[in-house]
Structure 1
């Protein structure tokens, strides 16, 4: 009878073990299938504010050490969080944090861009190698609360208590041995496990969030080890990572389990960890190793992030119907030319072409495509110098620092009107211009927050100052007066429309010259305003355009 019970117990344990292995392999197989299925597919995920806070952590942690980066106004004007979401096909938190940072940190050296493109091209062409790397990254996975970059971007002040915890962890074992000599030693055993359990609970409650990060760091090290074992044609890029990994190898097999839905064996192991402080000792070991090797951790983090983000870029390119690699140069300043450029977030977008050697003013009716055109160029100028990819048939330009002043709002918390917010936004552009690298700025409806006379006079002087500096300016406006005042400084382009059977039709194509059509007055007629109001409004507008003076109403 006892033998049959032992057999049943062993069978249950073996059965549970086999089921766990089968489920694990099934999960890994599903992971590979998802990687294969997701390659080259369009991605568009809406992130919460908390998720974006986590995704942007690496950028924020390293922002102070950067030279130029895409500032918050420009990033928000261009809906770059949505552009990031469209490109993001990363498998790990490290990858998406690094990709986010990459989109905010344009490069200004051709060698850096070409080296990056070489890796992207490698992963485009080598499907098996790409999937093997992505599989390792997918096992690392995403834990957006981990924010692993915090560990190598802060001063490390951890005190080493490992010897103290090791001694406490040995006392229960020693007391058990001594109990064979002196039975009273069993009291020491119970007192020590009670004390160690309390230390375990308090220590882990104090460092619960930190442990989550440490767990992810251990997984990062294991992931890097797995990728570096692969037979890839990129070994020259891997040498710094190999050296960093060797400095962190002592924590490669460490990690912490968080008990959820445990079976009996798991419960037994958890109590063992508490009684003998094994996880607390492990925590100290990881903390001490990281404290001594923050630079190595940074190298590994950036290695994984770089690889994951570039596989994501390769997948993004695969998803596009049309893209080109930009031709960028330092020789010509303030030059930008493109053919059939389009916006990355618009379904069935209309493309446009232009050769810009001096600043331009874009006029046109409401909803004709002016703002979208500005955003299209601005986004592509950023993509050119960050992921070496432009959504166009051809794209050639100087290296630029890109700024925008477009989708501004009143600052109610700061008690600032729209006009104050806008002139501050414009001032930041003016103050950023220098002779080292040309700026490329996009301004939509300049100074719309004030009266007509002061708007025209101030706008013309601000735009003139920007255009005559080391900056190429693309500005959209409804103020046709500016097209005349600035015609010696800016080239004029416009968007236009047709009215067919009381319906306004836009083709969203760019044309040379200033806009000559107006739909605001025509819309009055379409919406049922009297013919007298419409006719008088048209005559008044025509008179002003011909003479430059408004007629008085008698």
Structure 2
């Protein structure tokens, strides 16, 4: 149903774009026709010496031409939004149909092998959680979403507040899409505003001096007045103008390099500032119900009469005043009115009043972008469960839960991890689904801790810190083997558990880089130590002898995946079952490789 509604939106925007293209072409033709007819009639009436008619026709065609130019620009701007909204709905349909891994922005620059879980659970990079979720378009939005994914919320109360805000945003589809569309129009979306923050927090005391402000305002007025009086009256000799202009020229060149550098440093943010204003204005003008969204909006209040959108609009207006300063003809205007001084004075006044707040305001934009991205999960998957976060007898209790990124290939399972049996030992043959199951648990926990729904019919969990050891590889630069890298990873997990933190560990194929005896002895010792220190988690292994721990160690519970054969072809159902694995498929796979066994 949701998918069909977005198809309808897609068709609506497609038809709208066609209509806008038609309007743009018609207006363009009318401009040409107006110009040709207007100039022709103006020329003809001028040649027959009907000067008043000639001037009237020229003015009339000029006004019509300007009107058409303005409307042409308006239609082009409307089309930009229609194209953006069409792209948004196309992306939503791709996400629903499982084609989201074609999205360009996968956050690969955020990959960090040292993070406690993000690399193992495919949080960033190709086919990642970030690639699936992200709708952020600004630098702040992408950074905020990244931070939410790697720094989950710390209390059930915070999570519940975020859940409420996400539900509210999920129900505000039109507003969310308009917010995203505004971000899409930014020409350089991911530019880091750090330089802008530095500028907004800096001060140039010279342009706050009262004497300079008075001089910069009074001197141009005197010069312009002298020019007018000398040209149109005999009260003033034009020689006075010859004196005033060189004085202004000297003043203009004082500190000119510093002003030019300042203007160039911040002018590259002009287009972004205009978009930031529109994004802030969308937030300011919308009424929110959830406490978290209300608080974010309150962060944009400057005073009773002004908000962040107003302040950023003023900054945008100052940017507009310096937009033509590199024009060859503008330099005359600049010298005459000391325009650079006027702009610097305005910039300084703005920085004093609002500069320190700019980062806070843009962080709010980033927060809304991240929340909008996550809320799309709720809108696109209404059948998914809102997780219950509580510290009860269950560490995890899930019904019909699956991997959120697998879509059509998804197989759902039930699992319970309670405080009595808090370590699951998972066995099974190659390719049977052990690693995918571990990641399914891990990624649904991440979603739970950021306030998102999870891919399950029902999901209940405790609030824990996730640590994984799944992908370890050689580090030639630091002369570290994959086995030693695994040891370092395990060491970190052991230390975290010993700190009495609530740790949930996910370990895939323990100590696979050593011999079978050492692997078995090391794994046995590690499991017992993690359990006795209070840790909970999942461990997959091919070492079936480890399953005997269930008989001697009360915290262990065995589960397994199995394969079956159909017409001598290896098949998997990816369903988890209680107990240790009783089947294996390595010999079958070895034969498939063409290896003859005696």
Answer whether TM exceeds 0.5 for this pair.
yes
Residue 370 of structure 1 contacts residue 476 of structure 1 at CA under 8 Å; is this kept in 2?
A: yes
Deviation readout 1:312-357 (Å, 9 max, x if unpaired): 223222323741111221233x621212211122242111211122
CA distance in 1 between partners of 2:536 and 2:333 (Å): 67
Aligned to 2:587: 521
Q: 1:24 to 1:384 in 2, by over 3 A?
A: same
- Name 1:550's counterpart in structure 2: none
Q: Indicate the residue corresponding to 1:76 in structure 2.
A: 119
Correspondence for 2:301 among 243, 260, 280: 243
Instruction: Say yes or no: does 1:230 pair with 2:286.
Output: yes
The DSSP-based 3-state class of the residue aligned with 1:473 is strand
| Distance in 1 separating the partners of 2:407 and 2:87 | 25
The structure 1 residue matched to 2:339, chosen from 238, 256, 276, is 276
**Helix, strand or coil: the match of 1:463?**
helix
Provide the aligned length of Structure 1 versus Structure 2.
508
Partner of 1:345: 405
Task: Measure how far apart 1:173 and its partner are.
Answer: 6.2
Q: Shift in Å at residue 34 of structure 1?
A: 4.7
- Look up the match of 1:185: 244
What is the rounded CA distance, in whole Å, between the counterparts of 1:501 and 1:374 in structure 2? 30
Go from structure 1 to structure 2 and tell me whether the alpha carbon gap of 1:531 and 1:446 turns closer, same or farther (over 3 Å shift). Answer: closer
SS at 2:315 equivalent: coil
Q: Supply the distance in 2 between the matched residues of 1:40 and 1:233 (Cα, whole angstroms).
A: 29
Q: How do residues 506-545 of structure 1 correspond to structure 2 at under 5 angstroms?
A: 506-532=572-598
Q: Does 1:300 align with 2:361?
A: yes
Aligned counterpart, 2:261: 202
| Aligned with residue 77 of structure 2, among 24, 30, 39 | 24
Q: Is the 8 A contact 2:201 2:351 kept in 1?
A: no
Q: By how many angstroms is 1:465 displaced? A: 0.9
Q: Which residue number in structure 2 is paired with residue 373 of structure 1? A: 437
Give secondary structure in 2 for the equivalent of 1:89: coil
Aligned counterpart in structure 1 of residue 375 of structure 2, from 314, 334, 337: 314
Correspondences of 1:335-484 after superposition (within 5 Å): 335-348=395-408, 349-357=410-418, 358-433=422-497, 437-484=501-548
Change (3 A) 1:364 1:463: same
1:148–1:213 CA contact under 8 A, matched in 2: no
1:163 aligns with 2:240: no
Query: Could you tell me how far 1:467 is from its partner in structure 2?
Result: 1.9
In the alignment, which of 75, 85, 107 is matched to residue 131 of structure 2? Answer: 85
Contact 1:339 1:354 in 2 (8 A): yes
Give the distance between the partners of 1:13 and 1:200, measured in 2 at CA.
Answer: 34
Mapped contact 2:467–2:493 kept (Cα < 8 A): yes
Distance of 2:88 and 2:329 partners within structure 1: 37
- Note the C-alpha offset of 1:119: 2.3
Q: Which has the larger radius of gyration?
A: 2
Q: Does the 8 Å CA contact 2:200/2:351 hold for their aligned counterparts? A: no
Determine if the alignment matches structure 1 residue 119 to structure 2 residue 119.
no
Deviations, residues 190-241 of structure 1 (Å, cap 9, x unaligned): 4555667644433344x2xx55457645643453234322355458446623
Q: Whose RCO is larger (CA < 8 A, sep 6+)?
A: 1
Task: Decide which of 176, 185, 190 is 1:144's aligned counterpart.
Answer: 190
* Contact 2:135/2:180 (8 A) holds in 1: no
How far residue 306 of structure 1 moved from its aligned partner, in angstroms, is 3.2
In 2, Cα distance between equivalents of 1:52 and 1:212? 26
CA drift at 1:400: 1.1
CA contact (8 A) 1:492 1:514 kept: yes
Separation in 2, partners of 1:267, 1:493: 77
Question: Which stretch shifts more, 17-26 or 181-190?
Answer: 181-190
Distance 1:507 1:444 in 2: 20
Contact 2:403 2:455 in 1 (8 A): yes
Gaps of at least 5 residues in structure 2 are: 1-45, 228-237
**TM-score under structure 2 length normalisation:** 0.73
Query: Is the CA contact (8 Å cut-off) linking 1:447 and 1:459 kept in structure 2?
Result: yes
After TM superposition, the score normalised by the length of structure 1 is: 0.78
| Alpha-carbon contact 1:102-1:386 (below 8 Å) kept | yes
**Structure 1 residues 231 and 456 mapped into 2: Cα distance closer, same or farther (>3 Å)?**
closer
1:251 and 1:286 in contact (8 A); partners too: no
Structure 1 residues 87-137: Cα deviation after superposition (integer angstroms, max 9, x where no partner): 123454433332222222222323322222222222333445555655666
Which residue is 1:253 aligned to? 314
Counterpart of 1:95 in structure 2 is 141
Q: Within 1, Cα distance between the matches of 2:370 and 2:84?
A: 18
Measure how far apart 1:186 and its partner are.
3.1
Return the alpha-carbon distance in structure 2 between the equivalents of residues 94 and 237 of structure 1.
18
Distance 1:173 1:338 in 2: 76
Distance (Å, rounded) in 2 between the aligned partners of 1:46 and 1:484: 46
RMSD: 3.9
SS in 2 for 1:243: coil
- Point out the more displaced range, 79-88 or 93-102: 93-102
Alpha-carbon offset, residue 383 of structure 1: 0.6
**Partner residue of 2:570?**
504
Does the 8 Å CA contact 2:139/2:191 hold for their aligned counterparts?
Answer: no
Gaps of 5+ in 1: 61-69, 533-554
CA deviation digits over 1:55-80, x for unaligned, max 9?
A: 89xxx9xxxxxxxxx96241011110
